[in-house]
Chain A
Amino acid sequence: SVNDDVHDEL
Chain B
Amino acid sequence: MNIFRLAGDMTHLASVLVLLLKIHTIKSCAGISLKTQELYALVFATRYLDLFTDYISLYNTLMKLIFLVSSFSIVWYIRHHKIVRRSYDKDQDTFRHYFLVLPCFLLALVINEKFTVKEIMWTFSLYLEAVAILPQLVLLQRTRNIDNLTGQYVFLLGAYRSLYILNWIYRYFTEPHYVHWITWISGLVQTLLYADFFYYYFQSWKNNVKLELPA
Contact = CB atoms under 8 A, between A and B. Distances in A.
A binds B: yes
Interface of A: 1-3, 5-10
Contacts, number: 37
Interface stretch (B110-118, B145-153, B194-202): B110-118
B110 to A, nearest CB: 15
Contact of A2 (B5, B118, B177): B118
B175 interface: yes
B54 interface: yes
Contacts of B180: 6
A7 B56 contact: yes
Interface string B93-115: 00000000000000000001110
A6 B180 CA distance: 8
B23 to A, nearest CB: 22
